Structure 1
Amino acid sequence: ATPISIMVGVGKAAEYGVLIRHGDALQRAGQITTVVLDKTGTVTAGEPVVTNLVVSDGWDEATLLTLAASIETGSEHPLAEAVVAAAEERGLSLSQVEAFEAIAGRGVQAQLDGQPLLFGNRGLMDDHHIDLAELPGEAARLAANGETPMFLAIAGSAAGIVAVADPIKPDSKEAIARLHAIGIKVVMLTGDNAATAAAVAQQVGIDEVIAEVLPADKSARVAALQKKGEVVGMVGDGINDAPALARADVGFAIGTGTDVAIESADVTLMRGSLHGVADAISISTATVRNIKQNLFGAFIYNSLGIPIAAGILFPLFGILLNPIVAGGAMAMSSLTVVSNANRLRFFKPSGAQS
């Protein structure tokens, strides 16, 4: 009764670009009460571009972008790729930096011609006691528009801000609305600054934002939600999401994400859309309902057939169950279960994308 329904359910999910690695995940998905979303590459497209350059006194945009791109050539972060691409578009010549180091949740640092070069968030600047003058106000304005401001400092002085924005996926808002429609709370968990995260969350209708989270702390944030009694589904695409994906009750990896994230997750969304989460939950609910129907049908068959086969009617009516009839009844039981399970093939999640 159970395996046939799970087999059909997994196949139905695959039709919608949702690859489920094991049956437990399919059954558990329908119990999710909270979906936690990473921002970059999950809610947004993961293709950031440089949108604004804000320079301090005595600096110009070309020099600011050149320094930022020079230090980011050693980084694999999507925001770093956007900065380097912007410099290349302008035909800027980059410098070679030394002693490059990526600081988790902060940014990057290196040496350029013997001078310390810093590029990252406000926390990185505060850690090195950099005087940002009027830049924090500009950063707040940029963040309110959904842009991510990154500060650049060299030799202990602030040079300016490079702002990067990652466009929101066209279907993120609709997919999140589908999750709300089935009673699921949606939380954004991101290392981005609070203002930028809040601006993105407002645009797509996310219920709660947990921002400025270090990569190592994402798993702990998921665990904290579970301690509150929530059944958590985590959706992410990056290496830093892998521990949280593994910690969640059901982990959903974006198919266009990293191999580490995909290996850590229970479910892979091949189309890269959040609609896959809603589809998986709907199919899970339908599959579990189908399993219960099969078990109920099998129970009725057996609760009636076994006593009759054992001769319960013989003392009263002299009736014994012919083995041929018993075999036929057993075959009908199997046929009923298989036929009911195959009804899942015609199931379509509400609001699913073609």
Structure 2
Amino acid sequence: MGRVPAAIREYWIRGGSSSRAPARIRRRLAEMPGVSGVWTDGSVLRVRGSVPFDMLERIAHDSGCAIEPRPLRPYSAPATTAAVRLVGVAAAVLLVVDALAQSFEGGTAWRLLSLALALAATLCLARAWRRDRRPYPFAGLNALVALALVGSWVHAGFAAVVPERLPLDGEVGYLAFPLFTLAVYVGGLLWVEAGELLPAGPGGGADDGPARRSVYELANRVALVMAIATLALIAIMVAVWLVADEFGLAVLAGCTLAVLAGLPALPLGVALTARFGLGRLAEHGAMARTEGALPTLAGLRAVVFDKSGTLTTGDPEVVAVEPVEGVAIRDLFRWAAAAEAAAAPGAVTRAARERGIPVHPPAAFRRLPGGGVSVEPADGRRVTIGPDAALVEAGIDNPLSPRGAELKAEGSTPLFVAVDGVLAGAIALSDPLRPEAADVVERVRALDLEVVLLTGDDALAARAVADRLGIALVRAGAEGGAKVDELRALREEYGPVAMVGNGVDDADALARADVGIAVFGADPEAARRASVTLARDSLHAVADALVLARFSLRNLLVGSGMAATYCLALAPVAAGLSQPLFGWLLTPMAMLVLMLLSMATVAVNAARLCFQEVGSAPPPGKRGL
């Protein structure tokens, strides 16, 4: 069995005794269990997780920073939030009013008062929705709620004006039930928005990529079918009872069928599944920017991985040194380290210092075509370093070119060093694979997804890495905008694709993919434009997110089926078919019991997500909506 996720809280960390304080805090938080998200927002380091405040406070104060608890993504529609509460209260009041009207045999005034209260609450919510400039919600669910509202209003009007035309047990009002549905539906939309989501920054991936699904899309389809079926059934039953000269049963059947179809179980199940699903994603280190990440992740057909810094550690190391005859390894390191130190100190500089070789900045530095650089160290010699293409551009003969091809085939990147126009040797760099990379690729493939390696590196080096990980499809030599073109081609061939990357050169691809996943420690621009950001330094978070999204979708299917089954089972009673035989009608008390029972059923079903094990569970096979 799993466990219920602990409460997620958010904290803001500001200031610091040095410019390195945020990086130092990030490193400490990366080792702390319970942290579900860390990102930079201007001068503020924002932290989310189920971590005790005193532990975070100690880490912040050690770096000279201040920390303060913050509300977790507060509701973005204050007027609508207040109106939802008002509608809920109005529904509860109407239940009491209807009960009193029945007990004391209330007349027309009671009925008209109830109808006015229901109309006022509905109009108040509609006005608040427009005032908060909320987007137009989902047509199918809207139709179902509207059908229930109209049905309850029509019944209330007949009960107030001509109560004698209705069956005796059909005079009590049903006004409260559509209001409960309306409150659950709209409140659920706001509640999901306030869940475990990253803040939607300007220009984020959620706005730049292809149109993404909403978690409400499946429920919207079910609701649309239910609305159409209910309208057809209402028309049939009204016609049947009118032909049988049962005007009261015709009105009652039409109204109760409409109210029955609009019970709140369906929107409640969607909201709970979305909120619990997003919470489980956050618990496993995947922070989504929109609730649409769940169905989009579940509907993927291919997952595209960047190589450097994603499948690899992003920290290259020297794996081979090939000096030409007559050149000392120490001199080769000294020249190469001087050139690298001028551009960006890295693996060669680090290896030289480990060997006790002094590294001095060069007197001159310039970049060359083909990805090479040319420098003039303190000894006055001209050093050129770069791949084979750079030496070709510089007109330098390279007798080690065949050896360079062998190193590429082994997965290494050879850098050739020439001094005064003559080749001095080669140094091979290799970026180690992440220890979990092979397991993650296997887990993704077990979900029946195509795995693709997309990189700007040389084809031989990319193929070597792909073979070690069991990846069949490789797209190499793709840099900048070429990655977006490759993603477009993969989408046309396979369907929806996810892009997993980390660098600034991956930012456009992350934004244009159906789901862009920025790994832990990714470049800020890449993280800003991705629709999912990993707050856990492990690629297993990618596989976990895919599995959880499918579990969420399956849970949503079951919950929607449960809600529809309740309506289908009671439809004959609501249609009045049982009244001539047994004298049964779907009274408000029976409707109340049904509403509570259906809501409890979908709530228990949605709560199963909190206990779903990810690592040991067999991967669900259902994909997409």
Q: TM-score, normalised by structure 1?
A: 0.88
Q: CA RMSD in A?
A: 2.5
Structure with the bigger percentage of helix:
2
Aligned equivalents of 1:235 and 1:202: distance in 2? 19
Report the count of equivalent residues.
Answer: 346
> Bigger CA drift: 111-120 or 207-216?
111-120
Q: Aligned letter for 2:602?
A: V
Q: 1:131 is matched by which residue type in structure 2?
A: D
309, 325, 347: which one pairs with 1:41?
Answer: 309
Displacement of 1:261 in angstroms is 1.8
What is the match of residue 563 of structure 2? 298
**Counterparts in 2 of 1:308 and 1:99: CA distance versus 1, 3 Å:** farther
Amino acid at match of 1:123: A
Amino acid at match of 1:67: W
SS at 2:429's partner residue?
A: strand
Distance 1:187 1:6, change over 3 A: same
CA–CA distance in structure 1, aligned partners of residues 493 and 584 of structure 2: 58
Shift of 1:191: 2.1
Q: Which amino acid aligns with 1:17?
A: G
1:67/1:94 contact within 8 Å kept: no
Match of 1:160 in 2: 425
* Corresponding residue SS for 1:163: strand
In the aligned structure 1, how far is the partner of 2:495 from the partner of 2:591? 47
Match of 1:126 among 382, 388, 392: 392
Relative to structure 1, the CA distance from residue 54 to residue 216 in structure 2 (aligned partners, 3 Å threshold; closer, same or farther) is farther
Q: Partner of 2:613: helix, strand, or coil?
A: coil
SS in 2 for 1:191: coil
Which has the larger strand fraction? 1
CA gap of 1:220–1:116, structure 2 versus 1, over 3 A, is: farther
1:336 counterpart residue number: 601
Question: Quick one: structure 1 residues 214 and 152, their matched pair in 2 at CA, closer, same or farther if it must change by over 3 Å?
Answer: farther
Q: Which moved more, 1:110-119 or 1:322-331?
A: 110-119
Give the residue type in structure 2 aligned to 1:136: S
Paired residue for 2:415?
Answer: 150
Question: Map of 1:98-117 to 2, 5 A cutoff?
Answer: 98-101=364-367, 106-112=370-376, 117=383
State how far apart, in whole Å, the 2-side matches of 1:25 and 1:44 are.
Answer: 25
Give the 3 Å change call, closer, same or farther, for CA 32–119 of structure 1 in structure 2. Answer: farther
What's the secondary structure of 1:23's corresponding residue?
Answer: coil
Distance 2:597 2:342 in 1: 66
Report the Cα offset of residue 350 of structure 1.
4.2
1:195 and 2:460 aligned: yes
Gaps of 5+ in 2: 1-268, 618-625
Secondary structure (helix, strand or coil) at the match of 1:299 reads helix
Matches for 1:143-292 after TM superposition, within 5 Å: 143-292=408-557
1:212-236 deviation digits (Å, cap 9, x = unpaired): 3223322211111112133211111
Question: Is the Cα contact below 8 Å between 1:294 and 1:341 reproduced in 2?
Answer: yes
Q: Secondary structure at the match of 2:494?
A: coil
1:305–1:57: structure 2 CA closer, same or farther, 3 Å change rule?
same
Question: Matched residues in 2 for 1:21 and 1:286: separation?
Answer: 19
Task: Report if aligned partners of 1:176, 1:274 keep a CA contact under 8 Å in 2.
Answer: no
Task: Report the residue type matching 2:321 in the other structure.
Answer: L
Query: In the TM superposition, what is the alpha-carbon distance from 1:331 to its structure 2 partner?
Result: 1.8
Equivalent of 2:406, from 138, 141, 152? 141
- From the superposition, tell whether residues 220 and 156 of structure 1 become closer, same or farther in structure 2 (CA, over 3 Å): farther
* Residues 34-67 of structure 1 deviation map (CA, whole Å, 9 limit, x = unaligned): 2111112221222211122222355432333223
Report the AA paired with residue 160 of structure 1: G
**Aligned CA distance change for structure 1 residues 310 and 220 (closer, same or farther; 3 Å):** same
**Counterpart position of 2:300:** 32
Shift of 1:308: 4.1
Paired amino acid for 2:395 = H
Query: With structure 2 as the length reference, what TM-score do the two structures score?
Result: 0.52
Query: Given that residues 388 and 398 in structure 2 are in contact (C-alpha distance below 8 angstroms), is that contact kept between their aligned partners in structure 1?
Result: no
| Other structure's SS at 1:319 match | coil
For the pair shown, the structure with the greater C-alpha radius of gyration is 2
- Indicate conservation of the 8 Å contact 2:362/2:375, yes or no: no
What is the Cα deviation at residue 286 of structure 1? 0.7
Offset at residue 149 of structure 1 (A): 0.8
Shift of 1:328: 2.2
| Separation in 2, partners of 1:205, 1:116 | 43
Conservation of the 8 A alpha-carbon contact between 2:574 and 2:585: yes
Quote how far apart the aligned CAs of 1:73 are: 2.5
Distance in 2 (CA, whole Å) between partners of 1:214 and 1:124 is 17
More displaced 10-residue stretch of structure 1: 342-351 or 315-324 = 315-324
Whole-angstrom distance in 1 between the partners of 2:616 and 2:422: 53
Match for residue 318 of structure 2?
Answer: 50
- Tell me, yes or no, if the aligned pair for 2:341 and 2:361 is still in contact at 8 Å: no
Which whole-Å deviations, capped at 9, do the CAs of 1:110-161 have from their partners, x for residues lacking one? 442798654322233333333212x111112222332211223355443322
Q: Which runs of 5 or more residues in structure 1 are unaligned?
A: none
Quote how far apart the aligned CAs of 1:87 are. 2.3
CA distance in 2, matches of 1:117, 1:328: 84
Which amino acid is 2:545 matched to?
A
What secondary structure does 2:553 align onto?
helix
Structure 1 residue 307, shift from structure 2 partner = 6.7
How far off is 1:351 after superposition? 4.8
Query: What residue identity is the alignment partner of 1:289?
Result: R
Check 1:85–1:213 CA distance in 2 against 1; reply closer, same or farther (3 A cut): same
C-alpha separation in 2, matches of 1:327 and 1:102 = 77
Q: 1:82/1:252 Cα in 2 relative to 1: closer, same or farther (>3 Å)?
A: same
**Relative CO higher for 1 or 2, CA cutoff 8 Å, sep ≥ 6?**
1
Q: Aligned letter for 2:376? A: L
The one-letter amino acid paired with 2:445 is H
Between 1:316-325 and 1:175-184, the stretch displaced more is 316-325
